[in-house]
Amino acid sequence: MLATWAEKFRPHREGVDLPPHHEQCLGCGPDNPHGHHLQVRRHGDGVVADHTFDNRHVGAPGIAHGGAVATVIDDLYGFLLYLVGTPAVTRQLTVEYRTPVMIGVPYRLQAQVQRHEGRKLFLVASIAGPDGSVVGTSTAVFVAVGIDHFTRERQ
Ligand SMILES: CCCCCCCC/C=C\CCCCCCCC(=O)SCCNC(=O)CCNC(=O)[C@H](O)C(C)(C)COP(=O)(O)OP(=O)(O)OC[C@H]1O[C@@H](n2cnc3c(N)ncnc32)[C@H](O)[C@@H]1OP(=O)(O)O
């Protein structure tokens, strides 16, 4: 997995689907039956995804679970790392839920790097409905890590 991960940090063309983090990733892994199967493409300095939540991720009837929305946004941020060129992990994630995110409705999610300070990446994202109205916004702090972060043994 480490070798394939490193290959993902090559230049990516505008509009072309970016590779999933790995096959089982909850956000984007094509082989995870419980996952969101998020498909993300580069858009300028940022990333964009068109995504529809389904009944596996329902919270209140008809409404996407807030945790599912946060999962998708967190994973979307993970695609910015391909553009930044370093592995990093989420240290802080905030989501503002302005209006409900509905099941079965196509949303557009966008994320970009706001600024880079040492190991810290300050990230922003938004989610908009079919009419372009913003239903949610997010900020995150990711911290760059070395490969050993993923290989180190922990309890
Ligand atoms: C190349 C090959 C690699 C192999 C790859 C294998 C496969 C990988 C597959 C897929 C990956 C991508 C998938 C994306 C999916 C979405 C992302 C996720 O779900 S990530 C999971 C959830 N997150 C965690 O599990 C983090 C848990 N936390 C930690 O491990 C540590 O806290 C860590 C590494 C983040 C930082 O720990 P410290 O000890 O290294 O560093 P400290 O000193 O605590 O903080 C660093 C700097 O950040 C600042 N900082 C911390 N919190 C901050 C905050 N809230 N706001 C601003 N700054 C903050 C601190 O003040 C410090 O700054 P100053 O260096 O002193 O300038």
Instruction: Write the pLDDT tens digit of every residue in 78-114.
Output: 999 999 999 999 999 999 999 999 999 999 999 999 9
Provide ipTM, 2 decimals: 0.90
Q: How confident is the model at residue 2 (pLDDT cuts 50, 70, 90)?
A: low
Length of the chain: 155
Half-sphere exposure of 124 (CA within 13 A, CB side): 5
pTM of the model: 0.94
Kind plus residue range of the DSSP H or E element containing 150: helix 148-151
- The tens digit of pLDDT for each residue in 110-127 reads 999 999 999 999 999 999
Domain extents in the chain? 2-151
Name the catalytic one among 17, 31, 54, 74: 74
**Cα-based distances in Å from 104 to 113, 125, 142:** 29, 21, 30
Report CA(22)–ligand 1 centroid distance (Å): 19
CA of 146 to the centre of ligand 1 (A): 10
CATH of 2-151, one of 3.10.129.10, 3.20.20.70, 3.90.79.10, 3.60.40.10: 3.10.129.10
Residue 3 Cβ < 6 Å to ligand 1: no
Q: Is residue 60 in contact with ligand 1, taking CB distance under 6 Å?
A: no
The finding on whether 84 has its CB within 6 A of some atom of ligand 1 is no
